[in-house]
Amino acid sequence: MNFKNYKKRQKFLIISFLFCILLNNLIIAYRNSVTWDELCYIGTGKYILKTGNLEYNAVGYHPPLSYYLNSLFLVPLDFKQEIYQVDDCWKNGNTILFHSGYSPILIVFLSRLPFILLSLILSLYVLRFAHKLYGAKSGLFAMFLYTFSTSILSFSNLAITDFLVTFFVFVTIYYFYNFIIDHKIKNLFLTGIFLGMAQLSKATSLVLIPLIISVALFDFYKRKKISPKINPADLIFKLFIIFFVAF
């Protein structure tokens, strides 16, 4: 994002929004107790990396990307070996939080921290997308709504799957929109990469597949009316690239 396009007051607002997002999330993440889902999810990524056990029951609930993410800052911590002997995320979560020798508050906070950082990044994507569509003031207004959205405040500081899939679905749509506008190969590959990441976040992201196909078909027929020489093989090839990169 090129901040040179913004005036001084607008830059101040952007920095203020980022500060509000960070401060609110850090306070909430530190003060709020562990949620029901987090009890199973926290430490699961570290367990999978340590054991290589993809038949772990938590993986049956959701794809593993959010588990790896919530364990990012837990890697340096030395958990007891008995944790890796039990094939149940609920029991392991309880052991990690309350019997690992580390403060439960510290473990929960470290697990939530990567999602807070993603929330900051997503706010910039919201700003950029709205700016691209409707101009700088609309981008700032969209960022304002994002910053104080109760849904964002509720989920962006939890070590669960919902915010992660929101992040990757939004970013996938952003790059796919860019591709529809400029048809640059860079945006085609970025669409595929983030589509794949979305699939690794939560099963609900499958909705992106028919959405991308439908929009690509609509764009193809729209362009074909203008230029009848466009080959359908071009559409098929581009969709193939997106899904090949994703999967």
- For residue range 211-220, list pLDDT tens digits in order: 999 999 999 8
Q: How far is CA 159 from CA 143, 154, 164, 178, 221, in A?
A: 23, 11, 9, 30, 42
Query: Which residue would you say has higher pLDDT here, 118 or 1?
Result: 118
Q: Is the pLDDT of residue 228 over 90?
A: no
Confidence of residue 16 (pLDDT cuts 50, 70, 90): very high
Q: What's residue 64's pLDDT?
A: 93
Give residue 1's pLDDT.
61
123-132 pLDDT, tens digit per residue, is: 999 999 999 9
Contact 165, 201 (CB under 8 A): yes
Helices (H), the chain: 8-31, 36-41, 44-51, 57-61, 65-70, 89-98, 104-134, 136-147, 150-155, 161-182, 185-199, 208-226, 232-246
Evaluate if residue 5 carries a pLDDT over 80.
Answer: no
Cα–chain center distance at 98 = 28
For residues 185-194, give the mean pLDDT.
Answer: 96
Residue 162 has pLDDT above 90, yes or no: yes
| 68-97: average pLDDT | 91
Rg of the chain over all Cα atoms, to the nearest angstrom: 21
pLDDT over 90 at 206, yes or no: yes
The pLDDT score that the predictor gives to residue 229 is 77
Q: What angle do CA 160, 162, 166 make, to 5 degrees?
A: 135
pLDDT of residue 2: 67
- Residue 57 exposure: Cα atoms within 13 Å on the Cβ side: 10
Mean pLDDT value across residues 42-64: 91
The mean pLDDT of the chain is: 93
What are the pLDDT digits (tens) for 172-187?
999 999 999 999 999 9
| Residue 247 CB neighbour total at 10 angstroms | 10
